[in-house]
Structure 1
Amino acid sequence: MIRAISILGLLLLLVLGFAKPWTTTAIVVGLSYAIAALGVSPLMRAGQISFGHAMFACFSAYTVACLARAFPGLDVLVLILAGVVVSTVAGMIIGLFIVRYRGIFFGMLNLALSMVLFAILGKLYHITGGTDGLSFTRPPVLGMALERKPYEWGLLIISALIAGGLGWMLQRFYASGCGQALAAIKTNENRLEYLGFSAYSILWRGYVLSALVVGFAGAFLALIQGLVTPEIGFWLKSAEYVFIAILGGTGHVIGAFLGALVFELVRLFSASYFASLWQFVLGLTLVSTIFIFPAGMVGQLTRRARQ
């Protein structure tokens, strides 16, 4: 049932994007947020919340921008792949240090590193463009130089396919032995060690997987905007990813998509009608969701499906 809802939802997004061209950019941005929430979900299943994972989106986005400026003929798919590779390598290196810690120390260290990156990007104006960021021209899609609307439609299709593929991959990972072991870190890490598993190694793999997935989000944000700024790696972005993951729930990958949908709708509605209080409305939505659906929206759907 949940799988059918996921496929139907992605198809509806594609239809909406083509039927209402003005929604295309918003849908791609929304899918980017959903992918980022997918990225932080494995760590949350292990009981670890990162308040700095937007730095991996930042690594990917700046890689895309720098390569697009240096090699204007590079295809969108090549740029996405390059961005994800850089974010994954960064996750491998940073994870070696970060996964030694748990709880608040894990979250705060990620936050600290993300803010160091944010500060560096803002200072190195001659390389990163500082707070003005780096802009670049539209790269070709599958070898074709497209105008704005066809380009956005191309990104919409690619982002929807990749989002669906990542969701399928992560759901299979959760059901695998490694995924179950990662979840066991939250419930009883000592017992996991007694069974002969290395909690450090398992959490490191989960951290690298998380960085890889968030890298896709950063690449799509860069490509749809044509501009990258240090704000992509700001801690508030990381908080939004966590917000979406909690809102939707981490019991199933569809939670990231439901959370992103509600997040975007609430943000658009509150910004339109409560311009000076939209953060308050978002916070109220999260608190209400936690009280009504402690396991997130997907937890409620799963519970009803079993009844």
Structure 2
Amino acid sequence: MPLKQALATTAAALLALGTATTAHADCLTDAQAAELLAHYVARTPAPNPVNLSDADGACTRGKLNQLLAQRMGKVVGYKAGLTNPAVQKRFNTDKPVWGKLYDGMVLQSGATVEAAFGARALYEADMLVRVKSAAINHAKTPEEVLDAIDQVIPFIELPDLMVQAPPQLNGAGVTAINVGARLGVAGTPLPIPAYRGERYAFLKALADMNVSLTDGAGARLGGGKGSDILEHPLNAVTWLATALQQEGITLQPGDLVSLGSFSALLPPKAGLAVTATYDGLPGAVPVRVTFK
């Protein structure tokens, strides 16, 4: 959709926003948030949000999420981002951030996706979990998280950093763009083991697993260990639940949670086929995406 046309389609949404959101001086204005959405829709690079505090980033994310909800509908989950210290370093921050996932963002393994699926398209090895119980909002340990989920799902996330100069983004800037949520490819869900001994082994396997990205010829593209995410990947869920509650949001049964990156963020190219494998996690089936 041309940028001018996309801007026009957001006018009604802006009217709905009105004066409901009180912004810090550096929070994007309603007009700037509409421009951000227009670039998102058009898949063209948006101006970088600058001089944002953490509160400004959250304020801007809130405005963008209101506009995205009017366009995309149902929230199907949330993503914890910058949960890997190596990725935090890239964005000059020392803490995670979060964004919302919308209906239609999660595709199935084997999907073919345009290499230019976003303005600043990337891919990474990730993982989803599915919430079983609202008790997850009070979970403080990976064990308690495991009790409150019913699936672990291999996942290649396809984020879009969407701005003109991604290297200039910091944590607040990543928050402002809804943590780059755009698409992702989900594999075969793994059920949570029923028995106590199996559950302990499963928790250990999640921390110890080696996650690898390979191309169609089997050449390694990147990867990492399960413990690269906050020392245990399920710690991303406890962090997210706490962060959401600070903004009056609770995780609900059926919600998906993206845990973050086990690998570096890599740029796709047409003709590339990518497979993510989870060696050491029993029963985990590789997940695949092809770029055209």
Range into which the TM-score falls when normalised by the shorter chain: under 0.3
TM-score when scaled to structure 1? 0.25
TM-score when scaled to structure 2? 0.26
Structure with greater contact order relative to length (CA < 8 Å, sep ≥ 6) = 1
Higher helix share goes to which structure? Answer: 1
Higher strand share goes to which structure? Answer: 2
